[in-house]
């Protein structure tokens, strides 16, 4: 009604969409809420780059197709290895970029790359690599889990459709092996999957 109502200033923290809260603490510093489940929001099985990666993986000869759990446990391992192999050949390396944009004493968070950012830069920290693999595995029908432990994340993937048996993958190991020494596709298969 044309009356001055006054002004109020307040400082707020605006976080980047990639700055994911992990947990919050109360005024005394005690753990209050666990937000680790938010990491799953970065899993994107519909990213068009996945089809290109899968085609590259088939071209290596490690697998002939991607069938999820349909062909048994050994084929699940082969499919996961075929994906790891392609990312390794593309030069994917561990990169410990975790610093969030909005630092806070009450909310701990971590920077997480989008699928495209990880592929374009060929860099991934533990959660980036885990989210990348979870996205690809979801696309091909292999159930996976993001396993969160203090200061680290790694991938769990089911060996059967029921999800009763899981194996685990340390994605930060990508880049630790000189895979170029294995030029022969058959030799590569024999080394990692002895019959």
Tokens encoding 45: 């099985």
Q: What's the CA gap between 193 and 186, in Å, rounded?
A: 10
Rounded Cα gap, residues 69 and 77, in angstroms = 10
Q: Which two tokens stand for residue 190?
A: 């024999």
**Phi and psi torsions of 113, nearest 5°:** -80, 150
Residue 40 to residue 130: CA distance in whole angstroms: 10
Name the one residue in this structure whose structure tokens are 């024999």: 190
Q: Are 111 and 97 in contact (CB under 8 A)?
A: yes
Q: Is the dihedral of CA 68, 139, 156, 65 positive or negative?
A: positive
Q: What percent of the chain has pLDDT over 70?
A: 87
Torsion angle, alpha carbons of 45, 72, 188, 127, to 10: 30
Q: Give the span between the Cα atoms of 53 and 62, in whole angstroms.
A: 13
Confidence at 98, pLDDT banded by 50, 70, 90: low
pLDDT given at position 64: 94
DSSP structure string for 116-153 = HHHHHHTEE-HHHHHHHHHHHHHHHT--EEEEEETTEE
Range with lowest mean pLDDT among 61-65, 106-110, 140-144: 106-110
Average pLDDT on 153-169 reads 94
How many CB atoms are located within 10 Å of the residue 104 CB? 13
Per-residue model confidence (pLDDT) at position 105: 81
Q: How many CB atoms lie within 10 A of CB 159?
A: 20
Looking at per-residue pLDDT, the higher value among 110 and 192 belongs to 110
Mean pLDDT calculated for residue range 11-20: 83
Tell me the average pLDDT across 94-106.
75
Predicted confidence at residue 179, as pLDDT, reads: 56
pLDDT at 182: 54
Q: How confident is the model at residue 194 (pLDDT cuts 50, 70, 90)?
A: very low
| Mean per-residue pLDDT, 166-191 | 68
- Please state, for a pLDDT cut of 90, what percent of the chain lies above it: 56
Residues 69-80: tens digit of each pLDDT: 998 999 999 999
Q: What is the mean pLDDT of residues 160-180?
A: 83
pLDDT given for residue 195 in this prediction: 36
- Residues 62-90, mean pLDDT to the nearest whole number: 93
């Amino acid at each position: 009604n044309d009356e001055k109502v006054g002004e109020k200033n307040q400082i707020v923290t605006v976080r980047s969409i990639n700055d994911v809260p992990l947990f919050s603490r109360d005024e005394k510093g005690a753990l209050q809420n666990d937000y680790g489940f938010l990491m799953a929001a970065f899993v994107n099985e519909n990213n068009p780059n996945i089809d290109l990666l899968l085609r590259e993986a088939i071209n290596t000869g490690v697998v002939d197709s991607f069938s999820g759990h349909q062909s048994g446990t050994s084929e699940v391992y082969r499919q996961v290895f075929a994906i790891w192999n392609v990312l390794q050949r593309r030069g994917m390396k561990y990169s410990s970029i975790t610093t969030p944009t909005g630092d806070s004493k009450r909310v701990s968070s971590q920077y997480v790359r989008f699928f495209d950012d990880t592929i374009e830069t060929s860099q991934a920290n533990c959660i980036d690599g885990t989210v990348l693999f979870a996205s690809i595995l979801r696309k091909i029908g292999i159930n996976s889990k993001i396993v969160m432990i203090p200061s680290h994340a790694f991938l769990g993937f089911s060996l059967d459709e029921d999800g009763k048996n899981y194996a685990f993958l340390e994605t930060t190991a990508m880049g630790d092996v000189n895979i170029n020494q294995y030029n022969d596709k058959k030799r590569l298969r024999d080394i990692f999957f002895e019959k």
